[in-house]
Amino acid sequence: THIITSPCIGTKDQACTEVCPVECIYDAGEMYLIHPDECIDCGACVPACPVNAIFPEEDVPAGEESFIARNHEFFGV
Ligand code: SF4
Ligand code: F3S
């Protein structure tokens, strides 16, 4: 799955939601989050985000690891 990290907070540009082919990016209040069971890892959302908030789970930067759990727990998976 791909993971949305802290730069989305306060930005919520929503460009990612427009390019995702499976519409698995959801409004989660202060930020958007990706449903891990629906994401097909196509990567289309990564260059779409103007603040570079989205990463493949295995490439989440140091200090942003807590967002891996956040993307999972929001959806209960
Ligand atoms: Fe959607 Fe593809 Fe991004 Fe996953 S990697 S959230 S399927 S655009
Ligand atoms: Fe957030 Fe970037 Fe999408 S700011 S809503 S992850 S385009």
How confident is the chain (77 residues) per 10-residue block, as mean pLDDT? Answer: 98 98 98 98 98 98 98 97
One-letter amino acid identity for 39? C
CATH number where 30 lies: 3.30.70.20
Neighbours of 10 (CB within 10 A): 9
| Protein residues whose CB sits closer than 6 Å to any atom of ligand 2 | 4, 8, 11-16, 32, 48-49, 51, 53-54
How many domains, in total, are found in the chain?
1
Tell me how many helices (H) and strands (E) the chain has. 3, 4
Q: Which atom number of ligand 1 is nearest to the Cα of residue 43? A: 5
CA-to-CA distance for 39 and 51, rounded, in angstroms? 20
pLDDT of 48: 98
> Structural domain of residue 42, as residue ranges?
2-73
Please report which ligand is nearest the Cα atom of 5: 2
pLDDT of residue 44: 98
Residues with CB under 6 Å of ligand 1 are 2, 19-20, 22, 24-25, 34, 39-45
Provide the token pair at 41.
Answer: 């890892």
What's the CA gap between 28 and 12, in Å, rounded?
10
